[in-house]
Amino acid sequence: MDAIEKKFLKLGAEYAPGQEVRQHTDEMEWKYEKIPGTPVDFSHGDVDAFEPIPGSLDAFVDGVHTGGKQAYTEYRGSKDIRERLAQKVSAFTGAAIDAERNFIITPGTQGALFLAMGSTVARGDKVAIVESDYFANRKLVEFFDGEVVPIQMDYLGTDTSAGLDLTQLEEAFQAGVKLFLFSNPNNPTGVIYSQGEIHRIAALAQEYGASVIVDELYARLIFEEGAYTHLCAQNIVDPENVITIMGPSKTESLSGYRLGVAFGSAKIIDRMEKLQAIVSLRAGGYSQAVLKTWFSEPNGWMNKRIAQHQAIRDDIVAKLQSAEGFTVRATEAGSYLFPSIPELDISINEFVKVLRLQAAVTVTPGTEFGPQFQHSFRINFSQNHQAAVEAIDRVIQVVEAHRK
């Protein structure tokens, strides 16, 4: 087997959210009696239940009518839109952001992550990755021939922090880790890192001269006005060693437009633009115009969205907590839940397939977020409220049928 074949064997996407239709399940079809109910795809949010920001399509159409200037922006994105957004994101995070030097528009938050990692990870570099964390993080390190150094997070053992093992993080830096990548709120658990954790992460990065990439994709959907600390605004670590990533794909339901942003280190942003030039030139030109609606939503729109999600969360958490053998920590921000389930007579990947075939419910297996999560799954509860709650009943029913 050659080097490239080996690399791609590790890059599996069969169980990644959205790819379930490519799973081979024909031979399983006949085995399972269907449990009736409205199909729910918990692998991602439902933009039909929670629609895009009002006016987003109009902004796109305006972009098309602007013509060539909007179609062919700089690779780092339209100057006008960068200026507008840098100001808004700066106000939101509390960090100083220069639109010209410190800001890039990307094709989705995934695009921002890829560019940031491609601009910081060289062959053999050690990169600290939290377990559990977003499944692409480990894959990115592997694609760029880096070495994953896992950092444990005991999110079920506390409710005053994310439960990150800060001792292990310091040991990782001591062992030569030069980059720490993490999502805050954490994906898949929905927990927020405490101020103490963020300060310690920043202090360690500064002490060891390491870079930090913070994925803040869900930082606007915060329940019960929980405290949220933006690492980039703490003035603890050299700002030239920090990249923060955000985007309107989730809370704002703009995923279909493929938009994200990254801001921070001018040096890394420059590299990201050079890489963007050979990856896909730029975020879709007309789509960039849609960013005019971001952080400019109608009054009350975001508060309503938060309240609706909190109500769904509360109903689902109550159901899961009353089911035997389930453990779950309530989401603090974003729309993910990461329950652990009792031991089953089938693997977590089989469970996910059975659940989809039998109960028309799609969830993402825990093993996508760390190899040890063989008894967990992730759901994105940004769904039709009633359908989502009913689907959780079916999840519990399938777990019952396969309990060891």
Q: Which residues of this protein are in contact with its own copies, per CB under 8 A?
A: 2-4, 7-8, 11-13, 16, 18-19, 21-22, 44, 46-48, 52, 57, 60-61, 63-64, 67-68, 70-75, 79, 106-108, 110-111, 113-114, 119-123, 136, 139-140, 143, 145, 255-258, 270-271, 273-275, 277-287
Task: State in angstroms the smallest separation of the CB of 401 from its own copies.
Answer: 29
Cβ closest to its own copies, residue 79 vs residue 403:
79
Cβ closest to its own copies, residue 279 vs residue 357:
279
Cβ closest to its own copies, residue 63 vs residue 190:
63
Cβ-based neighbour number of residue 328 at 10 Å: 21
Cβ closest to its own copies, residue 161 vs residue 380:
380
Check if the beta carbon of residue 109 is closer than 8 Å to that of residue 246. Answer: yes
Task: State in angstroms the smallest separation of the CB of 160 from its own copies.
Answer: 33
CA distances from 220 to 106, 224, 306 (A): 19, 12, 9
Cβ-based neighbour number of residue 166 at 10 Å: 16
Tokens of 369: 């977020």
Burial class (CB in 10 A: 0-12, 13-18, 19+), 275: middle
Amino acid at 234: Q
Cβ closest to its own copies, residue 95 vs residue 254:
254
Task: State in angstroms the smallest separation of the CB of 156 from its own copies.
Answer: 28
Task: State in angstroms the smallest separation of the CB of 341 from its own copies.
Answer: 25
Cβ closest to its own copies, residue 268 vs residue 337:
268
Task: State in angstroms the smallest separation of the CB of 259 from its own copies.
Answer: 9
Task: State in angstroms the smallest separation of the CB of 336 from its own copies.
Answer: 16
Pick from 148, 113, 112: nearest CA to 127: 148
How many helical (H) and strand (E) elements, i.e. helices and strands, does the chain have?
Answer: 13, 12
CA distances from 23 to 29, 64, 178, 253, 350 (A): 12, 37, 37, 26, 11
CA distance 314 to 92: 27
- The β-bridge relationship of strands 126-131 and 179-183 is parallel
Cβ closest to its own copies, residue 283 vs residue 391:
283
Task: State in angstroms the smallest separation of the CB of 265 from its own copies.
Answer: 13
